[in-house]
Structures are given as C-alpha cells and as structure tokens.
Amino acid sequence: MGPNYAWPGNIRELEQCVRNVMIRKSYRPVRQSPIAVNGSAHDRFARDVAAGRFTLEELIENYVSMVYAAEECHYGRASKRLNMDWRTLKQKLNPEQVGTFTMR
C-alpha cells in the first residue's frame, strides 16, 4: 500500500485491508476510478486548483470544459457565461473533461 496511498475513506475497504493484513500479511488495494476515490470531478478540480497543479492552459481547458458541461453542452450559453466567443470556447474545450463534469 505504501505511505503515498490516498485512502478513499471507505470503511469497508478499511475492514478488508485489516482482514488481509491479518490473514495474508499484505494488502493490495482495489484500483478504483478517480471519481470514486476522490469524489466528483468538481471536487478534484477545486483541489487541483488550490494545490496549483495546473498550467495556465490546463486551468483554462478544465474551467471552460466545466462551464460548458454546466450549461448542458450549449456553446451559446457557455460562451456568454464565460464572456468568450463560441469559436474560442470550442478551441479550448476538452471533450474528455466535459464527459467527467457531466457524470453524476
């Protein structure tokens, strides 16, 4: 598991970990999706911004994608909200990011 393991806070996983350590003397965590481990894409985005993990271009790409998703993938509303031309918005979008922000 190691000291850098980001514990997801799930009590069932903790119970499983303790059982495995007692019986097998080791524990290998089940790989989970980043959304399951770290909460919503919005939460991860906020933590990453606060930690300064983005370049300016990455920050813009993520923010534009988040607003576009929040505006139900409508270029007109998202561009108005961002005060940005819709063509520029389209250039800055990352479709994969939009998908993570629209997941519930």
Least confident of 34-38, 44-48, 54-58: 34-38
Tokens at 60, concatenated:
């813009």
Confidence check: pLDDT of 53 > 50: yes
- pLDDT tens column, 40-51: 788 888 888 888
**CB atoms near residue 31 (< 10 Å):** 7
Q: How much is the average pLDDT of 72-93? A: 94
Q: 4 or 96: whose pLDDT is higher?
A: 96
Tokens at 64, concatenated:
């534009």
Tokens at 23, concatenated:
């019986």
Residue 85 has a pLDDT of 95
Q: Give pTM, 2 decimals.
A: 0.60
Band (23; pLDDT cuts 50, 70, 90): confident
Confidence check: pLDDT of 32 > 50: no
101, 70 in Cβ contact below 8 A?
yes
